[in-house]
């Protein structure tokens, strides 16, 4: 759907077209190799955000370089595209490593006749300029399992074998009702579609509130893949989803446990240091002109509340389990601090 196009049916995410995997045994033809791949993201996009978090937590900052597109998409041939600009560190509006202006160029390098949508994140093979994968779901799992040869020392286990079934089931519920649920509400083509989406969204948030009242993280004492998938939606909730997407039965800050949990994660290395609220607000309010025709960008809420004490440590637990927190991000990857 184009950014300025009024939806005519409920939002459904089409399967990813490019789903090759970079694995330890290179069974898809893409080997694990430091410096070979570039991760193209947008700071506003929650689907890209989860991949950035895993990259940070596992210490893959140096092994996989990061390319950040402009928060405002550019219309090319009638469609919105993720592009590189000087604002996000791309002199002459070209990515300094890939030498391209729009991510779609990597799609076309891989498949010259491709005429589908272009999404972030995109993992690109630097030597050829070909897109390897835009499968946001699989990318986080592979960075947290297949790339072990390049992990930092004492990296956490985000997808423990014993918990995988439970993580997968919870991820499915969170994706359906929360991650994608906010979009189904925001782009609902009719009242009944909106009513179903927003009801399911807040029923799930209520259930998560109850769950997190008694334990520090979604699966207990440590951070897992499930927390990484929930956080990007929570951190955008009051800033854009509550008003812009009409998810306004309650704000995140009105959920005592969820709000404290979200602050706990935000203040954990690898989470808050990957958030750029300015990009989030500018992208959503400006690009989605079908639901915000004037493209007026909201001024608030002020993000200072994310730095207030959360007291979740009283529930015990070890955020990284037997691992340790990641160090500071490389200078080139840092986001502006909350002022």
pLDDT (0 to 100) of residue 10: 66
pLDDT at 13: 60
Task: Give 10-residue mean pLDDT values along the chain (339 residues).
Answer: 54 78 96 98 98 98 98 93 96 97 98 95 98 97 97 97 97 98 98 98 98 98 98 98 98 98 98 98 96 96 97 97 97 92
**If DSSP states are collapsed to H, E and C, what string results for the chain?**
CCCCCCCCCCCCCCCCCCECCEECCCCCCEECCCCCEEEEECCCCHHHHHHHHHHHHCCCCCCCEEEECCCCCEEECCEEECECCHHHCCHHHCCCCCCCCECHHHHHHHCCCCCCCCCCCEEEECCCCEEEECCHHHHHHHHCCCCHHHCCCCCCCCCCHHHHHHHHHHHHHHHHHHHCHHHHHHCCCCHHHHHHHHHHHHHHHHHHHHHHHHCCECCECCCCHHHHHHHHHHHHHHHHHHHHCCCCCCCHHHCHHHHHHHHHHHCCCCCHHHCCHHHHHHHHHHHCCCCCCCCCCCCCCCHHHHHCCCCHHHHCCCCCCCCCCCCCCCHHHCCCCCC
* pLDDT at position 41: 98
**Rounded to whole angstroms, how far apart are CA atoms 336 and 246?**
28
Please give the pLDDT value at position 2. Answer: 44
From 183, 194, 284, 285, active-site residue: 183
Domains and CATH numbers, the chain: 22-150 (3.40.30.10), 164-333 (1.20.1050.10)
Report whether 106 contacts 131 (CB < 8 A).
yes
Catalytic residue, candidates 37, 45, 247, 284 = 45
**Is 45 an annotated catalytic residue?**
yes
Known catalytic residue at 183: yes
Distance CA 278, CA 26 (A): 38
- Please state the pTM of the whole predicted model: 0.96
């Amino acid at each position: 759907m184009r950014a300025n196009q009024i939806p005519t049916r409920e939002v459904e995410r089409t399967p990813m077209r490019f789903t090759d995997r970079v694995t330890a045994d290179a069974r898809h033809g893409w080997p694990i190799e430091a410096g070979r791949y570039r991760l193209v993201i947008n700071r506003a996009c929650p689907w890209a955000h989860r991949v950035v978090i895993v990259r940070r937590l596992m210490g893959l900052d140096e092994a996989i370089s990061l390319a950040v597109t402009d928060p405002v998409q550019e219309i090319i041939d009638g469609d919105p595209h993720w592009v590189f600009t000087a604002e996000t560190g791309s002199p002459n509006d070209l990515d300094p490593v890939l030498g391209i202006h729009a991510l779609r160029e990597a799609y076309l390098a891989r498949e010259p006749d491709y005429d589908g949508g272009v999404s972030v994140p995109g993992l690109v093979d630097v030597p050829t300029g070909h897109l390897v994968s835009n499968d946001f779901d699989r990318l986080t799992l592979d960075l947290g399992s297949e790339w072990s040869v390049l992990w930092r020392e004492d990296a956490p286990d985000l997808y423990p074998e014993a918990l995988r079934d439970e993580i997968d089931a919870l991820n499915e519920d969170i994706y359906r009702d929360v991650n994608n649920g906010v979009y189904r509400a925001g782009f609902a083509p009719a009242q009944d579609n909106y009513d179903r989406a927003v009801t399911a969204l807040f029923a799930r948030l209520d259930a998560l509130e109850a769950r997190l009242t008694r334990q520090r993280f979604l699966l207990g004492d440590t951070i897992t893949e499930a927390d990484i998938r929930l956080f990007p939606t929570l951190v955008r909730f009051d800033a854009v989803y509550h008003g812009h997407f009409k998810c306004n039965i309650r704000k995140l800050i009105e959920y005592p446990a969820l709000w404290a949990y979200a602050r706990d994660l935000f203040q954990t290395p690898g989470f808050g240091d990957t958030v750029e609220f300015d990009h989030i607000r500018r992208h959503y309010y400006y690009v989605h002109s079908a639901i915000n025709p004037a493209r007026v960008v909201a001024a608030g809420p002020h993000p200072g509340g994310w730095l207030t004490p959360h007291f979740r440590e009283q529930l015990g637990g070890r955020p990284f389990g037997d691992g340790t927190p990641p160090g500071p991000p490389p200078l080139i990857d840092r986001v502006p601090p909350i002022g």
